[in-house]
Amino acid sequence: MKILLNNQTLNRKLRHFDDIGFVPTMGGIHEGHISLIKRSNKICKKTIVSIFVNPKQFNNKKDFKTYPSNIKKDLSILNKIKKIDCIYIPKFKHIYSSKKKSKIRISKKDKILCAKSRKGHFEGVLDVMDRLTNLIKPKKIFMGKKDFQQLFLVKGFIEKKYKTKVIGCKTIRDKNKIALSSRNYLLNKDNLNIAGKISKNLFQLKIKIRNKKKISQFLLEEKKRLQKTFNIKIDYMELRNTKNLKISNNSIGSKIFISYYLNNIRLIDNF
Ligand code: AMP
């Protein structure tokens, strides 16, 4: 496993690579990330993992400052995975040295869910993914369905501009059904306990809405109930079609998307 700290060493390495599988991360490595790496190992000859906490995708300075990153710990976890060929750990200047020709914009119809509450977030995600794809030129990029809207927007953007395919991979959960996330490192035991209960509630909710007629109305009432029961603030809780992310009134082909604050930490998931 080669650690690459700048673009010269990256380019030198890339000369000998083809059929690259790329797993972009912001560190705080957990089993969710590892599942993406394993998927890449299975279908690509080479696997590159990046660790870069991209400041441009944080709409909140405090969120950026407190983002759980620990390179030493990450490397010790990744070291145990045999088939990672390189880990690219760039600095800000390595990613953002070149000026963009045109500003990345999210269309009006896509300003939903997280794009509505986190202004500039996905513009920052698409910018960094554009730059990383241009640098690494992977055949495939592996991303988690846990961040479904991110996957949806990145896939649309990257596959239009490059030959690269973006592959969505299933959400990895712990034994309490909590979706693994680097942000979980910021939660205490009580918070994690509540997060587990919320996940279980949402899995049940997905079953309950199967034979409901007025799903939006029902979800609104359930949103109020969950806020009260668990003393949380829910940013959104909506049923949307997984193909186009439009509001849906049919549980088939749709998912419940949720974002909520627990201990001031913003969590997202989909069921
Ligand atoms: P992050 O480091 O949070 O930016 O995530 C890097 C990649 O890992 C993204 O494509 C995420 O969607 C994916 N990911 C994060 N959590 C999970 C999870 N629990 N299961 C599967 N993939 C995940």
CATH code for the domain defined by 182-270 = 3.30.1300.10
pLDDT above 80 for 89: yes
CA 25 to ligand 1 center in whole angstroms: 7
CA nearest ligand 1 atom 22, residue: 144
C-alpha to C-alpha distance for 265 and 230, rounded to whole angstroms: 14
pLDDT digits (tens, 9 = 90+) for 137-162: 999 999 999 999 999 999 999 999 99
**pLDDT for 165:** 98
pLDDT of residue 80: 94
Residue with the nearest Cα to atom 12 of ligand 1?
144
Nearest CA residue ID for atom 13, ligand 1 = 144
Is 47's C-beta closer than 6 angstroms to any atom of ligand 1? no
Mutate to test the pocket of ligand 1, among 22, 33, 177 (most ligand atoms within 8 A of CB): 33
Supply the pLDDT for residue 102: 85
In the chain, which residues fall in CATH 3.40.50.620? Answer: 2-169
To test the pocket of ligand 1, the residue of 34, 58, 143 to mutate (highest count of ligand atoms within 8 Å of its CB) is: 143
Residue 33 appears among annotated catalytic residues: yes
Query: Cα(23) to centroid of ligand 1, in Å?
Result: 9
Residue 32 Cβ contacting ligand 1 at under 6 Å: yes
Average pLDDT of the residues in 95-100:
90
168-215 residue pLDDT tens: 999 999 999 999 999 999 999 999 999 999 999 999 999 999 989 999
CA of 84 to the centre of ligand 1 (A): 17
* Domain ranges in the chain with CATH number 3.30.1300.10: 182-270
- Run of H or E residues at 117: helix 113-117
Q: Please, which pLDDT band fits residue 99 given cuts at 50, 70 and 90?
A: confident
Q: What is the DSSP string of 218-245?
A: HHHHHHHHHHHHHT-EEEEEEEEETTT-
Rounded to 10°, the helix 7-14/121-136 angle is 50
Kindly tell me if the per-residue pLDDT of 100 is higher than 80.
no
Homologous superfamily in CATH for domain 2-169: HUPs (3.40.50.620)
Q: What is the pLDDT of residues 206-251, one digit of tens each?
A: 999 998 999 999 999 999 999 999 999 999 999 999 999 999 999 9
Q: Which residue has the CA at smallest separation from atom 11 of ligand 1?
A: 144
Cα–Cα distance measured from residue 21 to residue 242, given in angstroms and rounded to the nearest whole number: 24
**Does residue 269 have its Cβ closer than 6 Å to ligand 1?**
no
Kindly list the distances between the CA atom of residue 223 and the CA atoms of 91, 183, 232, 256, in Å, as whole numbers in the listed order: 41, 22, 10, 11
Is this prediction's pTM over 0.85? Answer: yes
